Structure 1
Amino acid sequence: MNVTFFNDQIHTVVTHNPFIVERWISDIENSHHRRLHRLIVGLDVEWRPNRIRNSIENPAATLQLCVGHRCLIFQLLHASHFPQLLKDFLGNPNYTFVGVKIDGDVKKLMKDHGLEVAKAVDLGSLAEENGRMELRYAGLKIFAREVLGKEVEKRTPVRWSEWDNVCLTPAQNY
């Protein structure tokens, strides 16, 4: 499916099929073969929020990866297995996985599914290192406005939605 982000078309694959994940990774590595030593991958993880205080946290439901104008939403909870190619991709020390407050997502992937990310960079920390102290604890909405000049909002109903459903809503796919 194509998702429109302002004037850009983002080709997005939503799947729980490990073979489709392998194909997406292979396509990414083939199309970016000249820069695999410095590949940058956006990473985010979603899960069903707990609505009851002090209850056990739900496991990571989706892994979202983006390279350029191509994204993958892998429905972890519905997959029959995690392909070795995905484990190798996440564990490749030449690839830099970036995200807002990514450390929590990386820990959750490891804790819930044993998926290790070799090299993760938090965009807030990176901004701070580059003199943008005000972005140290910024969320995605502020980053989009400050860095891209785009007004983006991830509405609360989407953030608090049922990420473990087999069929994601159109809003969850954006």
Structure 2
Amino acid sequence: MRCLIFQILHSPIIPWSLCNFLRNPSYTFTGVGIDEDVKKLTEDYFLVVATAVDLRLIAAKKYRVKELKNAGLKQLTRKVLRKEMSKRKAVTMSNWDNRRLNPAQVQYACIDAFLSFEIGRILILGNRN
């Protein structure tokens, strides 16, 4: 699996390939609180995201645990993947607006994207393979 980090904040243009990727209804984008991300993409960059699913809502429904509606990625990783996710505050609270992300930020962003993908795959498709 590969992960591409595109820093839209520092890009003079938004590639058509990114626009087409986000608005393709064949793709489902998953995340924790993803509605806020979609809202920002729409309001700040006029991008359309066709299908976005908040992992908290589908996890709460699937496991019948109302409290999961307020869970973070760390809690969802524990519940769905049965794995522990470490989140170092030095990374999570660092400056993500820098033109160049440091290696720890890149690693964290990739892990965050991968876990969101895996949790979404399991919750939506129902397989753990």
Q: Determine if the TM-score, normalized by the shorter chain, exceeds 0.5.
A: yes
**Number of residue pairs the alignment of both structures matches:** 106
Work out which of the residue numbers 107, 112, 136 in structure 1 matches 2:39. 107
Local SS of the residue matching 1:98: strand
Work out which of the residue numbers 96, 105, 114 in structure 2 matches 1:172. 105
Q: Residues 117-156 of structure 1: matches in 2 within 5 Å? A: 117-133=49-65, 134-156=67-89
Partner of 2:113: none
Local SS of the residue matching 2:94: coil
- Deviation, 1:156, is 2.3
- Deviation, 1:82, is 0.6
Paired with 1:99 and 1:106, the residues of 2 have a C-alpha distance of: 10
Q: Residues 12-91 of structure 1: matches in 2 within 5 Å? A: 69-91=1-23
Partner of 2:94: 161
Paired with 1:161 and 1:138, the residues of 2 have a C-alpha distance of: 22
Partner of 1:97: 29
Paired with 2:64 and 2:87, the residues of 1 have a C-alpha distance of: 23
Provide the TM-score with structure 1 as the length reference. 0.57
Provide the TM-score with structure 2 as the length reference. 0.75
* Bigger radius of gyration among the two: 1
% identical aligned pairs: 55
Gaps of 5+ in 1: 1-68
What residue identity is the alignment partner of 1:111?
A: E
Task: Kindly indicate which of the two structures has a greater share of residues assigned to strand.
Answer: 1
Local SS of the residue matching 1:173: helix
Paired with 1:111 and 1:104, the residues of 2 have a C-alpha distance of: 10
- Deviation, 1:153, is 2.2
